[in-house]
Amino acid sequence: MGEGENIGLMEPLVVGDGPRREALTDLAVDLVAKSVGFRRSLPHGMSIALADLVRSMNCYYSNLIEGHDTHPIAIEQALNNDYSADARKRDLQMEAKAHITVQQWIDGGALTGKVTAVDSICEVHRRFCDLLPDDLLWVENPDSGERLKVVPGALRQRDVQVGQHVAISPEAVPRFLARFDHLYSGLGRTDSILAVAGAHHRLLWIHPFLDGNGRVARLMSHAMLLERLDTGGIWSVARGLARNISDYKRHLARCDEPRWNDLDGRGNLSEQALVRFTDFFLGVCIDQVDFMEGLLQPDRLRTRILMWVEEEVRLGTLPAKAGNILEAVLYRGTLPRGEVAKLLGTTARQGRRIVATLTEKGVLVAENPRAPLRLAFPATLAPRWMPGLFPEQGA
């Protein structure tokens, strides 16, 4: 088909007006209210700690969708440059670290105002692939057995088929991406939230890269939600998609289908399938906000953390007053170092010793030696502090 492919092949990009759109709008309004309410309920220092953990969680579940099971504890080890001696596991740790590095770049606002731009999508792919080991930069043509090298950030130069979907020709990809950005970057707030699901599928439908399209689409969706809901990165749609992976993949496949009948919109692709995927996607987002908010309920989180502290004190691995510091940080978000001794009723030296022990445990962090202390959520403690966030290692 080449460059003559009609741009209308990708339509509709958004759900048209009507009762189905009204129902989706209600979901979008609900999502906005829940997401904003959750973020406002957390002290700033806790939001930072949670966003750090969610990056690892997001990475874990996005990897899982790709069939790569790298547990957050192994991911945390990679972030500390502690890699497995097993070559395959080490490669997957490096893949996970690459994902987190790119998401941290996104969370810092790098894509604000230009999430769907062609250059932005290519930059996400480039940054991710640049950090991958060479073994993960090769794909094999299932028909011919030919091995092809993935070039970071480069649009594909080959025809591809994914399942039953034959993607547009490589020559047409730039035009379709330009249309993609023109539409999705020009929407109002509510429309832009409704369109996250559509953009997620349509990017996969275009299939701009030889490999890595699923991960780029999920990172793009994360960036769109970050910008349009001001999420703060404290919850992850990837967890919900991975936990409903059969439905996720079924919806994506249905969205590839042409219009079902004369009542199915006016575009080339099925609008009913797009409606159902949007409903599914928004429902997953709402479920994940509810899940994270439930985990972070102050009284329950405090109880779980203090139970852990009591056990560690009995084992002799934490000083007796360590819980006082964690309680203060939980309540306030941050704790100036100069207030530790007064809080504990100890000398400054004893206060520093307790802080040092909590820092060694990975549950207290600071930006520098003089900065206020804030809570951290190490992956090794997630099963105790935040049960259900991800499976226990070996489970």
Of 206, 200, 255, nearest in space to 65 by CA: 200
Return the structure tokens found at 365. 């962090």
- Secondary structure percentages of the chain, helix, strand, coil, to 5: 65, 5, 35
HSE, CB side, 13 Å, CA atoms: give it for residue 326.
29
Residues in Cβ contact with 300 at an 8 Å cutoff, skipping those fewer than 6 apart = 294
Run of H or E including 335: strand 334-335
Of 206, 213, 125, nearest in space to 172 by CA: 206
Q: What is the pLDDT of residue 265?
A: 87
Task: Give the N- to C-terminal CA distance of the chain in Å, as an integer.
Answer: 48
- Cα 188 to Cα 195: distance, rounded to the nearest angstrom: 10
- Cα 348 to Cα 174: distance, rounded to the nearest angstrom: 62
Return the structure tokens found at 155. 């649009």
Place of tokens 């939600």: 225
Low-confidence ranges of the chain (pLDDT < 50): 1-2
HSE, CB side, 13 Å, CA atoms: give it for residue 150.
26
CA 383 and chain centroid, separation: 19
Dihedral sign for Cα atoms in the order 362, 296, 70, 99: negative
pLDDT, tens only, 38-66: 999 999 889 999 999 999 999 999 999 99
CATH numbers and ranges of domains, the chain: 2-41+67-295 (1.10.3290.10), 298-385 (1.10.10.10)
At 160, the amino acid letter reads V
* pTM reported for the whole predicted model: 0.93
Q: What is the pLDDT of residue 1?
A: 44
Of 189, 199, 212, 230, nearest in space to 51 by CA: 230
- Cα 132 to Cα 339: distance, rounded to the nearest angstrom: 44
pLDDT, tens only, 295-350: 999 889 999 999 999 999 999 999 999 999 999 999 999 999 999 999 999 999 99
Of 102, 94, 142, nearest in space to 233 by CA: 102
Q: Which residues pair with 149 in a beta bridge?
A: 138
Phi and psi of 82, rounded to 5°? -110, 100
